[in-house]
Amino acid sequence: MSANLSTTFDDKNSETSTLTSPTLVLNCGSSSIKYALISDDNSTRITGLAENLGLDTARIKHTTLNGDKLEISIPGGSHKLALQKILELLEQYHFIAVGHRVVHGGREYSQAVRVDQHALEEVKRLKILAPLHNPANALGIEAVQAIYPDIPQVVVFDTAFHQTMPPVAFRYALPKYLYEEHKIRRYGFHGTSHAYVSERSSKITEAKGPHGWITAHLGNGCSATAVYDGKSLDTSMGLTPLEGLMMGTRSGDVDPSLHMHLKRQLGISLEETDKMLNSESGLLGISGLSNDLRTIEQAASEGHKDAQLAIEMFCYRAGKYLASLSCALPEFTGIVFTGGIGENSVTTRASILAVMRHFGIKMDAEKNAGLYGGQEGSFQAEGSSVELWVIPTDEEYRIAQETRQALKLV
C-alpha cells in the first residue's frame, strides 16, 4: 500500500469538505462500481471505484474532497456489500438524490426517468440486450432502495440520447415484424458521453450554429456519433455494444454469417463465438498481447508486427467510420475526440485523421501533441475544413445533471 493510502477515514471536520445538495452518481458494471458525489454547482466532488468484485482482490479505492486516498479490502465482496460500504462512506454528506447509469433502456425511454416499480422492471427485463450490465444496474437501484427508501433515484440510459435517430439510421434491413414485435433495431450506447462532449463543443466553439459534430468516444469500448443541433442522428453501436468500431476486446463489425461458419466448419457454438467477439477480439485478439493500447503501442515501437497491425486496424476502421458518419450531418463543424484513448493518444488521433485524407482536414501537430492527461482544446491548423477538438468526457456530471432535471431540482 502506498504512503498516501490510509485504511481509516474521517472527513467530517475538514474545512474543505462541504458539498452543497450533492447528487450521488452510481455506475454499476459487471465487476465494478464507479461512483461520484457531486455538488449541485459541479464545483466539488468525491470519487471512487469498487473493483474486482467477486474476487479475493475486491477492494474500494476512495478519494476524498481533499485528495486523500482510502483503500478498503473486501475479499470476495459482492456488488451488494460494496454498495453498502460506499453508502457508509458517503452518508455524512446527506446526498439528496441518486442517479444511475443504465446501459440499455430499449425504445421506451428517450430521457432520464425517476425510478418506480415499472422502470426497475424494465431495467431487469432489458438484460436480454445487455446481460453484463443491466442486472448490475438493477442491483445498484435495489441496494439504495433498501438502505435509503426515501431518497429519490433516477435512471439515466446510455441509449436515450440516440432515440432521436431517424428510422433510416436505426432500422436494420430485416423483416418488419422483428422490429415491430421484438424491437430489433439499432439503439446506440455511450449516450451520456456523446451528449456531454457535443454540448461542450458547441459551448466553446466560435463557429456559428447549429453545429454538426462527429464525436469519437475511444476507450476500451469505442463508439462514434453524428450529432447535429444537440441531437444524435446516427451512431456506430447497434442493438448491442458489439457493433461498430474495433475496441479493446470487442471485434466491432464482422460478417453476420461468421457465427454459422464457425459452427459448421469448426464446431464452435454460438455462445462461444459470442464470448470470443465480446471478450477475446479487438486490440487483444489482433495483438495477442493486451486490450490496453498503451501496452500495444510500446510493443509496436519495439517492432512487434501484430501490435503494429492492431494499431493500424484500429485507426483505419475508426477513420472509415467517422468518414461515413459525416453523411448524416447537414453541416459538418468538427470532430471531437474523447475517452481514454481519444483524450490521451496523440498518435492515434493523428493516424485516424490521416485515414480521412480526402476531407481537407488540417491538423496542427504541435497543438495535438499538447493535448493529453485531461487537457481540453482544439488542434486544427489554419485552413482546415473542420474543427478538431479533444474534450475529456464527464459522464458523471452529465448523469448528475440529468438526475436533477428529472426530479425538477434545477
Q: Angle CA(333)–CA(338)–CA(340) in degrees, nearest 5?
A: 165
The single residue of 56, 116, 158, 234 carrying the catalytic annotation is 158
Q: Which of 399, 406, 407, 408 is nearest to 42 (CA)?
A: 399
CA 178 to the chain's CA centroid:
28
Residue 238, CB-side half-sphere exposure with 13 Å CA sphere: 14
What whole-number distance in Å separates Cα of residue 162 and Cα of residue 243?
15
Length in residues, the chain: 410
CB-based contacts of 258, cutoff 8 Å, min separation 6: 273
Q: Which of 151, 39, 32 is nearest to 86 (CA)?
A: 32
Q: Angle CA(402)–CA(405)–CA(410) in degrees, nearest 5?
A: 125
User: Which three three-digit cell numbers place residue 376?
Assistant: 481540453
User: Does residue 158 carry a catalytic annotation?
Assistant: yes
CB-based contacts of 53, cutoff 8 Å, min separation 6: 31, 32, 33, 77, 78, 79, 82
396 — phi, psi (to 5°)? -65, -45
CA-based end-to-end distance of the chain: 42
What whole-number distance in Å separates Cα of residue 23 and Cα of residue 408?
13
Supply the DSSP symbol for 127.
Answer: G
What whole-number distance in Å separates Cα of residue 198 and Cα of residue 191?
11
Most distant pair of Cα atoms in the chain: their distance:
67
Residues with catalytic function: 158
